[in-house]
């Protein structure tokens, strides 16, 4: 994909019970803005994406709305509507004045997992995906790294994917985002941002293993297991059948 940054399919990962993630169903990316005709056709005709889930906040969506895709339904789910000072949007990264970027990233993952909007948002996402059974879906945020990265981690984890494969997929963002991140940093430098601020923003434009690990540690601390996070009334509050249904629909021998 030339005009869709950080795009990839989640498929063929081996699970711990000897199966594989079914191909042709799950795709992840960054925002779908100013997409070429060829890439639009590839999404719809080659990958057969029929549902697009946008995890960005309302300001991000209003300022840079996704392109229209004839034949694919659009779903906006603001995962961080209830955030308490930390956000995964580019504007918030740029406008933070004095902060520890690593701590800010840890806080973002905590908010994604524990905030009401994060939990109800992921609940809506997984419920809706199941309602469409095997139709291909693409989910994204701005960069496709944190809100999207945690969604991918949860999806792959509940399907019993090998943890190392989950981490490897998560870290692919760093190479996939490099050109786009370089462009952002060059633009900010032209606007007079200091080296120290650019260094902090650069750190937040990439992912580290510790961020995803922290997300799963938050789940461990509060819910013990990912399965409990999915099923608990204090978590995603999904029906118990949802996990069985997901494994049946989205893994193959």
Residue extents of the structural domains in the chain: 8-252
pTM, full prediction: 0.93
> Phi and psi dihedrals of 47, rounded to 5?
-90, -15
Give the per-residue pLDDT at 93: 59
Give the per-residue pLDDT at 173: 97
How far is Cα 30 from Cα 52, in angstroms, rounded to an integer?
A: 12
Give the per-residue pLDDT at 197: 86
How far is Cα 52 from Cα 197, in angstroms, rounded to an integer?
A: 34
187-208 pLDDT, tens digit each: 999 988 888 889 888 999 999 9
**CATH architecture assigned to 8-252:** Alpha-Beta Complex (3.90)
48-102 pLDDT, tens digit each: 999 999 999 999 999 999 999 999 999 999 999 987 655 555 666 565 555 688 8
Q: Give the CA distances from residue 69 to residues 31, 139, 140, 209, 210, in Å, rounded to whole numbers and listed in that order.
A: 13, 14, 15, 34, 35
Give the per-residue pLDDT at 91: 61
Give the per-residue pLDDT at 83: 73
How far is Cα 191 from Cα 10, in angstroms, rounded to an integer?
A: 37
Give the per-residue pLDDT at 101: 86
How far is Cα 21 from Cα 166, in angstroms, rounded to an integer?
A: 12
Decide if pLDDT at 244 tops 70: yes
How far is Cα 79 from Cα 215, in angstroms, rounded to an integer?
A: 15
Decide if pLDDT at 15 tops 80: yes
Among 155, 137, 149, 126, smallest CA distance to 236 is for 126
Q: What percent of the chain has pLDDT over 90?
A: 82
Give the per-residue pLDDT at 82: 86
Decide if pLDDT at 133 tops 80: yes
Give the per-residue pLDDT at 92: 61
Q: Which has more confidence, 6 or 98?
A: 6
């Amino acid at each position: 994909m030339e005009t869709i940054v950080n795009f990839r399919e989640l498929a063929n990962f081996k699970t711990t019970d000897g199966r594989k993630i079914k191909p042709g169903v799950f795709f992840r990316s960054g925002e779908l803005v100013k997409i070429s005709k060829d890439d639009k056709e590839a999404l719809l005709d080659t990958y057969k994406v029929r549902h697009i889930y946008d995890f960005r906040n309302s300001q991000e969506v209003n300022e840079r709305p996704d392109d229209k895709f004839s034949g694919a339904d659009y779903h906006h789910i603001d995962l961080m509507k209830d955030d308490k000072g930390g956000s995964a949007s580019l504007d918030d990264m740029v406008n933070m004045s004095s902060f520890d970027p690593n701590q800010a990233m840890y806080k973002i993952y905590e908010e994604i997992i524990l905030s009401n909007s994060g939990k109800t948002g992921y609940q809506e996402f997984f419920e809706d995906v199941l309602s469409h059974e095997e139709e291909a879906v693409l989910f994204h945020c701005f960069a496709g790294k944190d809100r999207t990265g945690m969604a991918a981690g949860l999806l792959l984890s509940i399907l019993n994917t090998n943890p190392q494969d989950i981490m490897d997929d998560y870290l692919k963002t760093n190479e996939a985002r490099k050109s786009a991140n370089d462009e952002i940093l060059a633009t900010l430098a032209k606007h007079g941002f200091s080296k120290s601020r650019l260094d902090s923003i650069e750190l937040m434009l990439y992912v580290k293993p510790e961020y995803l690990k922290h997300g799963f540690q938050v789940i461990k601390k509060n819910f013990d297991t990912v399965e409990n996070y999915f099923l608990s009334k204090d978590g995603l509050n999904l029906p118990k059948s949802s996990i069985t249904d997901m494994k049946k629909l989205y893994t193959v021998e």
